[in-house]
Amino acid sequence: MNQNNLPADPIAMVFGIISILIGLAGCCCYGIVAIVPLILSIVGLHLANKSIREFNANPEAFSGQSRSNVGTAKVINIIAIVLNGLVFLLFIGFLIAYGTIFSAAILEGMKNSNNEDSYKWENDSIYFEEDNMETIETDSIYIDSVQLKGN
């Protein structure tokens, strides 16, 4: 009777612990990195479930301690999925709320900018107030004086 470890015995636990740690650190970053630990915990849960199915198919080939470790890893991964899922949903909610507030502020600013007195063009032309409008010199090209080669 050979007592082997289940295939996901160490790795499912590692994925669960890493995803919880990254998820807690991701809370400080406004949930931007919450998708990475969410994916890690989903992979860890999948590996744990796969190993539990192998144990149920052939329980005498694997040790009971390995089954217990995989069960603990499954619970840790479920907790990590719930926590990281909540952080990710809160991040999406904050993003939607800030986007709505920001777009409302831009729309309000655009409405206020349509007033005639809100913005005045200064120095819009080449003429300044102190220039005399009668002494404006124009720059022109006399086409009659241009001679083309070949004619």
Is the distance from CB of 81 to CB of 42 less than 8 angstroms?
yes
Task: Identify the weakest region by mean pLDDT among 26-30, 46-50, 109-113, 135-139.
Answer: 135-139
Q: Structure tokens of 146?
A: 């241009």
The mean of the pLDDT values for the chain is: 79
The model's pLDDT over 81-136, given as tens digits with 9 standing for 90+, comes to 999 999 888 888 888 888 888 888 887 877 777 655 544 555 445 555 555 555 55
Q: What count of other Cβ atoms lies within 10 Å of the Cβ of residue 148?
A: 5
Positive/negative CA dihedral, 38, 44, 47, 53: negative
Instruction: Provide mean pLDDT across the span 49-61.
Output: 91
Q: Residue 11: name the closest of 37, 34, 36, 41 by CA.
A: 41
pLDDT above 90 as % of the chain: 33
51 pLDDT tier (thresholds 50, 70, 90): very high
- State whether residue 141 is helix, strand or coil: coil
pTM strictly above 0.75: no
What pLDDT score does 103 carry? 83
What pLDDT score does 12 carry? 93
Q: What count of other Cβ atoms lies within 10 Å of the Cβ of residue 137?
A: 5
